[in-house]
Structure 1
Amino acid sequence: MEHTIVMTGASRGIGRVAAEHLLRRSPDAHLLVVARGSSGAQLAAEFGAGGHTVSHVSADLGSLASVRSAAGEIRDRLDRGDLPPLHGLVGNAGMQYTNALTEGPDGFEATFAVNVLANHLFVRLLQDRFTAPARIVITASDTHFGDFKHNLGMVPGPAWKSPGVLARTGAFSKPDTAAGGRTAYSTSKLAAIYLVHEYARRLPAGIDAVAYNPGFVPGTGLARNAGPVSRFAMRRIMPVMTLTPFATSRSAAGRYLADVVLGTTYAPTGSYVDRSRADRSSQESYDPQREGELWEAAERFTAAYAAKADTCSGDMTSGSPR
């Protein structure tokens, strides 16, 4: 049956590989890529040349107004019948800065805006357009464990604070340093898992939410805001680690992501998928109080942009665990 999969972060790295797998293995899929500027159109043209059905919507994920506009366009296209029923949303785009002081246009710390709020707003604005069975997949990271086993000492562990603090610049120690930026990243990935747990509680039956961890994947665009030495190491030196159990190649990570989206990997709603199988995330990531607080904060932060959709969609704000 023809269906639509909306995907962010499809233009490079594991997202590009996953998109190729989705189109090849699910020929009835209409892949709608969300990307900045002309990259979405270019990607749609490249994939379309292979006979696949791909379209695009432009959005700057650091801007909630831009996310709202993109989601609104997707809603309109679904309502007009220009797109087949929506069965998937893949929030794969992620950002890591060299500090924790970068502020987005809405006044939020940029890592938190892209890695947490953009995904949440997409879920909220498209929630009533999903046709079951449907699946939401949010790319997480094993940096949220905060131990050497999972990050090889390269990324500081999360430093959880109240969501109102995390959403603003300067939330972490030495916020003007790369360590501050990496702490913002690992903390944002912990936040993503918290929200997946809330989606699992609140979304209607038949719409599943899953967190996906690709593991450490050298050679992706995640370090594009790092200094030249770090970028060189990620591109030329770290890829050798894929020959060891400590890292995942782009091709494998992208394939695993496609497996989760397509349901090939068994993952009930609320699951954390570590590469190729559902597993436990960190002990810290199971905290109903934090999950509820983050949900309420994300609702407040995105309220002005979700208000229009709320008037014509089901209310998730008072959902209960399933």
Structure 2
Amino acid sequence: MKHTIVMTGASRGIGRVAARRILRRSPDAHLLVVARASRGARLAAELASGGYTVSHVPADLRSLDSVRAAAVGIRDRLDRGALPPLRGFVGNAGVQYTNALTEGPEGLEATFTVNVLANHLFVRLLQDRFAVPARIVITVSDTHFGDLRHNLGMVPGPVWRSPDTLARTGAFARPDTAAGGRTAYSTSKLAAIHLVHEYARRLPSGIDAVAYNPGFVPGTGLARDAGPVSRFAMRRVMPVMTLTPFATSPDTAGRRLADVVLGAIRAPTGSYVDRDRVGRSSEESYDPRREGDLWEAAERFL
């Protein structure tokens, strides 16, 4: 049956692999990619080259006004019958800056905006347009654990603050450094898991929400501003680690993301899929009070 899947972060890396696999595995899907106007049409044409149905909607995920316009445009296309029923949203786009001082157009901290608020705005504005059964998948990260086993010493663990603080620049120590930017990243991924738990509680039955952790995927650029030892390890050592359980290749991570989206990896709503199976996220990530506070704050920001 014809259906629509909306996806951010399909232009490169694991998202590009996942988009192609979704189209191959689900040829009835209309994949609607969200991308900046300068690349959206080109990306859609490249993905559609095998005869698949792909279109795009322009958006700058750093701007909530831009995200809102994109989501409203998707709603309009669904209402007019220009798109088949909506059955999926994939929030795969993510950013990490070299500081915790970068602002989006609305004055909010850019990491938190892209990795948390943009996804939330899409979910909320599309919530009543989903045709059940539907699935929301948000890409998260091992970094939210904050320990050596998961972060390999390259990314500081999350430092939770009130959502009003996290949404503003300078929320962390040494905000003008790469360490500050990486702390913003790991904290945003923890926040994304919190919201997945809240979606599981609040969204109507039949709309499942799942967090997907691809594991450590070398080549993502997380260590590009680290010291020389870390940069050397990322370039020379880490790619070899994809042959071990400690790291995942982009191809494998992308295929698994597609399988989560399509339900080939079975996961009930609220689940944390660790690579290719349902597992547990960090103990810190299970905090209903914090999750409720984050939901309420995100609603205010939007």
TM-score band w.r.t. shorter chain: over 0.9
Could you tell me the TM-score, scaled by structure 2's length? 0.96
For residue 39 of structure 2, what is the aligned residue in structure 1?
Answer: 39
How many Å separate the matches in 1 of 2:231 and 2:82?
41
CA contact (8 A) 2:140 2:212 kept: yes
- Name the amino acid aligned to 2:105: P
For residue 9 of structure 2, what is the aligned residue in structure 1?
Answer: 9
For residue 239 of structure 2, what is the aligned residue in structure 1?
Answer: 239
How many Å separate the matches in 2 of 1:193 and 1:145?
11
How many Å separate the matches in 1 of 2:231 and 2:42?
25
- Name the amino acid aligned to 2:18: A
CA RMSD, 1 decimal: 1.6
How many Å separate the matches in 1 of 2:8 and 2:77?
17
Any stretches of 5+ residues in structure 2 without a counterpart? none
In structure 2, relative to structure 1, the CA distance for the partners of 1:21 and 1:69 (3 Å cut) is: same
Secondary structure at the residue paired with 2:50? coil
Residue-by-residue CA offset, 1:240-293 (whole Å, 9 max, x unaligned): 221221110001000110110000111000000001000010000000010000
1:62 aligns with 2:54: no
Residue-by-residue CA offset, 1:143-163 (whole Å, 9 max, x unaligned): 000001111111000000110
For residue 294 of structure 1, what is the aligned residue in structure 2?
Answer: 294
How many Å separate the matches in 2 of 1:121 and 1:202?
15
How many Å separate the matches in 2 of 1:13 and 1:114?
17
How many Å separate the matches in 1 of 2:71 and 2:233?
36
1:49 aligns with 2:49: yes
For residue 148 of structure 1, what is the aligned residue in structure 2?
Answer: 148
How many Å separate the matches in 2 of 1:73 and 1:176?
37
For residue 256 of structure 1, what is the aligned residue in structure 2?
Answer: 256
CA contact (8 A) 1:141 1:186 kept: yes
How many Å separate the matches in 2 of 1:123 and 1:236?
39
How many Å separate the matches in 1 of 2:280 and 2:63?
32
In structure 2, relative to structure 1, the CA distance for the partners of 1:231 and 1:161 (3 Å cut) is: same
Which moves more between the two structures, 243-252 or 23-32? 243-252
1:102 aligns with 2:99: no
Identity of aligned residues (%): 80
For residue 276 of structure 1, what is the aligned residue in structure 2?
Answer: 276
Residue-by-residue CA offset, 1:91-136 (whole Å, 9 max, x unaligned): 0000000110111111111100000000000001100100000000
Could you tell me the TM-score, scaled by structure 1's length? 0.90
How many Å separate the matches in 2 of 1:102 and 1:235?
26
User: How far is 1:38 from its partner?
Assistant: 2.3
Q: How many residues align?
A: 301
- Name the amino acid aligned to 2:245: P
For residue 80 of structure 1, what is the aligned residue in structure 2?
Answer: 80
CA contact (8 A) 1:2 1:84 kept: yes
